[in-house]
Structure 1
Amino acid sequence: MDPRIREHAETIVEHSIELEAGDDLVIHLPSEAEDLAVALHEYAGDIGANPVYLNNSTRADRAFLRAREDDFELPEHKLALFEAADAFVIARGGGNVSETVDVDPETTAAHNRATRPVQQARLSKTWCLTQFPTEGRAQLAGMSTEEYENFVYDAVSLDWEAQAEFQQQMVDRLNDAEEVRIESGEETDVTMSIAGNSALNDDGKANLPGGEVFTAPVKESVNGTVHFDLPLYRQGREIEDVRVTFEDGRVTEFSAGRNEDVLEGVFNTDENARYLGELGIGMNRAIDRFTYNMLFDEKMGDTVHMAVGAAYPETVGEGNEVNESAEHVDMIVDMSEDSVIELDGEVVQEDGTFVFEDREARTE
C-alpha cells in the first residue's frame, strides 16, 4: 500500500473526525478506494471504534435512477443507519466521471427531494468528505495518474494548524461585517447581507482538503448578476459559462453556455434551490490549478464560490432564516484579475490578493 494512503487515513481519523473509542463509523467509499478503506479500518480497530463499510458505486446509482425514474421513497433503512452513526467518511473517486450522464435531471431532482432526510441526518453528525485519486479523475483533470496522485496527497497533507491561522484573518473580517460586494470583470456585480450570520473556517475537518472560509447570505438580500466563469461537473456533464441574476435573493434569470437543462433541473428541484445558501472564499494556495472537482476547485486561492440551495445551519444566526433545500450546488468565479471583494465598502481582496498577504510572497 502507498504509505501516503495511511497518512491520508491518519489525517481523517485524527484531525478531520477525531475518532474515539466506541464511535460508530460509516465508511462510504468507491471500490477503487479499497486501500483507503483498509487503512481506515486499521485505525478504527486501534482506537476501538466500530466501522461499517458501504461501497459507493455510480454505476449502481445510475442503474437505480434509470429504472425507477420517479416516485422515489425515503429509504428508511438507510436513514436509520445514518441516524445511529456517530461519524462518516465519504470519498469521491470512481472510474467514469460521466457515468450518470444519461440520467434525466428531473429524475435526479426527484431522488434528491425524497432522500433529503438522509442528507440532513449525515450533516448533523461528524463527517469528512475527501478524495481518492483515481485514473478517471486524473483524466478529467488533464493529468497523468502519478501527477494527480501527487496533487491530491499534497493538498490533503497541509499544515492544517497554520492554514487555519491564515484563514482566521478572513473569518474575523466577515464576522465583523454586514454587507459583501463582489465584482469581477464586466459582468459580475453582486451584493448580499451577512448581518447576524457566522463565517466558518474550513481547515480540513468536514472537507479534506479544506481551505475556504464560508458563510450564508441573508436569504432575501442577494441582488445583482454573477458570471460563473469556471465550469462545474454535474451528473457527469459539464455546465459552463453560467450567468445568473438575483433579485431579492431569488434567481430570476439564468443561462449556461452548455448543458443549461442540467442547471435548470437544479433550480427546479424545489423553491429554495433558487436562493443562495452559501458564500465561500477560496484560500488554499496549495491548490493551484482547476481540476473539474468542486472539492478542490472551490478551495483555490483567487476564487469565490456561491452555492444555490441548502445553507449550513451553523452559519445562520438566530433570527435569520436557514435556507432549506434538497440541493446544494457550488459555482465558481475566478477572482484573479479585475476583481474585488468589499466588506461594508472596504476592499479586503483585489485581483486575488488579500489585504493581509503579500502578492509576491504568495507566488514564490
Structure 2
Amino acid sequence: MDPRVREHARIVAEHSASLQPGDNVVIDAHPVAEDLVTALFETCADVGANPLAVSQRTGTRFRRAYLRNHDGEFELPSHEMALFEEMDVYIAIRGDANVTETADIDPVTSREYDTARKPLLDERLSKRWVLTQYPAGANAQLAEMSTEGYENFVWDAVNKDWDEQGEFQAQMVELLDPAEEVRIVSGDTTDVTMSVAGNTTINDTGKHNLPGGEVFTAPVPDSVEGEVLFDKPLYHQGREVTGVHLVFEDGEVVEHSAEKNEEVLTEVLNADDGARRLGELGIGMNRDIDRFTYNMLFDEKMGDTVHMAVGRAYEANVGEDNEQNESAVHVDMIVDMSEDSFIEVDGDVVQRDGTFRFEDGF
C-alpha cells in the first residue's frame, strides 16, 4: 500500500473526524477506494472505534440499476435512517470506476430521489462527517491526467500542514466575518451583491471536506441581486453542464441558462423553493489545487476562484437571528477570478485578479 494512503487515513481519523474509542463509524465508498477503506479500518482498530463499510452514494452500478428501474414515488428508507441514527461518524470517500455511470438517469428521477432522502442528509450532517477523495483511475481520466500525476495531485492537496493553511485563510476570515455586504465582479458577465450580515464565516481546514482550503459563509437568502456566469464547468449527475448563467432578484433565480445540459440545471433549480436561492458563498484558497479537475471537492478550493451554491445553507454559517435557506440540494458552481475580477467587502476591494489584499503583489 502506498504510504500516502495511510497518511491520508491518519488525517481523516485524527484531524477531520476526531475518532474516539467506541465510535460507530460508517465508511461510504466505492470498492475502487478499497486501500483507503482498509487503512481507515486499521486506524479504527488502533483507536477502538467500530467501522462499517457501505457503498450507497458513490455512483455504483447497483444504484443506477435501482433508479433506472424504479417506478412510482420514492420512500424514505427507515432501515438506512436507523443506521445513521446509531452512527457517530460518517466518512464518505469519492472514487469512481466510471464517472458517467449515472449519466443516463432521468434528471427528474434524480431530483425526486434526492428530495425523498433529504432527512437522511439532515441526519448525516448532524453527526461528525468527512468527505474526501481516493485518486481512482476514472477520476484521473476525467481530470485529463495520468494515474500517477493524479495521485500526486490528490495527496499534495490532502496530506499537508492544515494548521499552516488555516493561518493563511484566517486573514480572509477576519475580513469577511464582520462584513455586511459582498460584491463579486468578473469581466462583463458577473456582477452580484449579497448581504452576509450576521452570518458566520468558516475557515475550512479539512475538518469536513478533505482537502479543505476555502473560507465560506451563507448569504442572507433574499439579499442576492445581479447576475453570475459560472465559467468553470459543473459536473453533476454524471453530466457536464457548461456556461451556467443565473440572474437573481430579491435573492431568487429568476432567469437561468446553460450552454450544455441545461435540463440538468433546470431540475436542480426545480428541486424545491430553496433551490433557487444561494446557500453558500465560498472563496478558494488552497494553492496546491492549481488546476481544474471536474471534481468540486477540489475545484471549489482552487486559488483564484469563488464558488456559490444554490440550495441548502449550512447551519453553522447562519447567524442566530437569520434565516437558514433549506433545500434538498446543495450544488456548487465556480467563477474564475484570476483576470479582470475583484471581490469587494463593504466597499473595499479585498482581492484583485486572484491576489488577496494580504498577499504580495496586490
The alignment's TM-score, normalised by the length of structure 2, stands at 0.98
Partner of 2:292: 290
- 2:227 is equivalent to residue 257 of structure 1: no
Report sequence identity in percent. 62
For the 8 Å contact 1:202–1:210, the answer to whether it is kept is: yes
Partner of 1:231: 233
Q: Secondary structure at the match of 1:169?
A: helix
Find the aligned partners of 2:325 and 2:241 in 1 and give their Cα distance: 24
- 2:328 is equivalent to residue 326 of structure 1: yes
Find the aligned partners of 1:51 and 1:290 in 2 and give their Cα distance: 33
Find the aligned partners of 1:170 and 1:93 in 2 and give their Cα distance: 31
1:208-231 deviation per Cα after TM superposition (whole angstroms, max 9, x unaligned): 000000000001000000000000
Partner of 2:302: 300
1:1-364 aligned within 5 A: 1-56=1-56, 57-58=58-59, 59-359=61-361
Change (3 A) 1:359 1:145: farther
Q: What is the deviation of 1:359? A: 3.9
Find the aligned partners of 1:65 and 1:273 in 2 and give their Cα distance: 22
Q: What is the deviation of 1:83? A: 1.4
Q: Secondary structure at the match of 2:193?
A: strand
Q: What is the deviation of 1:271? A: 1.1
Letter in 1 for 2:53: Y
Find the aligned partners of 2:28 and 2:216 in 1 and give their Cα distance: 25
Find the aligned partners of 1:359 and 1:292 in 2 and give their Cα distance: 29
Q: Secondary structure at the match of 1:130?
A: strand
Find the aligned partners of 1:95 and 1:359 in 2 and give their Cα distance: 43
Which stretch of structure 1 is more off in the superposition, 66-75 or 54-63? 54-63
Q: What is the deviation of 1:172? A: 1.4
Change (3 A) 1:262 1:118: same
Q: What is the deviation of 1:176? A: 1.5
Find the aligned partners of 1:219 and 1:85 in 2 and give their Cα distance: 32
Letter in 2 for 1:353: T
1:32-67 deviation per Cα after TM superposition (whole angstroms, max 9, x unaligned): 011111110111011101111112452111111111
Find the aligned partners of 1:272 and 1:46 in 2 and give their Cα distance: 43
* Structure 1: runs of 5+ lacking an equivalent: none
Q: What is the deviation of 1:276? A: 0.3
Q: Secondary structure at the match of 1:183?
A: strand
Q: What is the deviation of 1:69? A: 4.6
Q: What is the deviation of 1:86? A: 0.7
Find the aligned partners of 2:355 and 2:63 in 1 and give their Cα distance: 41
Aligned residue pair count: 360
Q: What is the deviation of 1:202? A: 0.5
For the 8 Å contact 1:70–1:107, the answer to whether it is kept is: no
Q: What is the deviation of 1:80? A: 1.1
Letter in 1 for 2:316: E
Q: CA RMSD in A?
A: 0.9
Q: Secondary structure at the match of 1:201?
A: strand
The alignment's TM-score, normalised by the length of structure 1, stands at 0.98
Change (3 A) 1:183 1:23: same
Which stretch of structure 1 is more off in the superposition, 248-257 or 62-71? 62-71
Q: What is the deviation of 1:104? A: 0.5
Find the aligned partners of 1:255 and 1:70 in 2 and give their Cα distance: 30
Q: What is the deviation of 1:329? A: 0.2
For the 8 Å contact 1:233–1:293, the answer to whether it is kept is: yes
Q: What is the deviation of 1:194? A: 0.3
Change (3 A) 1:104 1:19: same
* Structure 2: runs of 5+ lacking an equivalent: none
Q: Secondary structure at the match of 1:27?
A: strand
1:246-275 deviation per Cα after TM superposition (whole angstroms, max 9, x unaligned): 000000000000000000010011111000
Change (3 A) 1:157 1:170: same
Q: What is the deviation of 1:318? A: 1.2
Q: Secondary structure at the match of 1:129?
A: strand
Find the aligned partners of 1:69 and 1:184 in 2 and give their Cα distance: 44
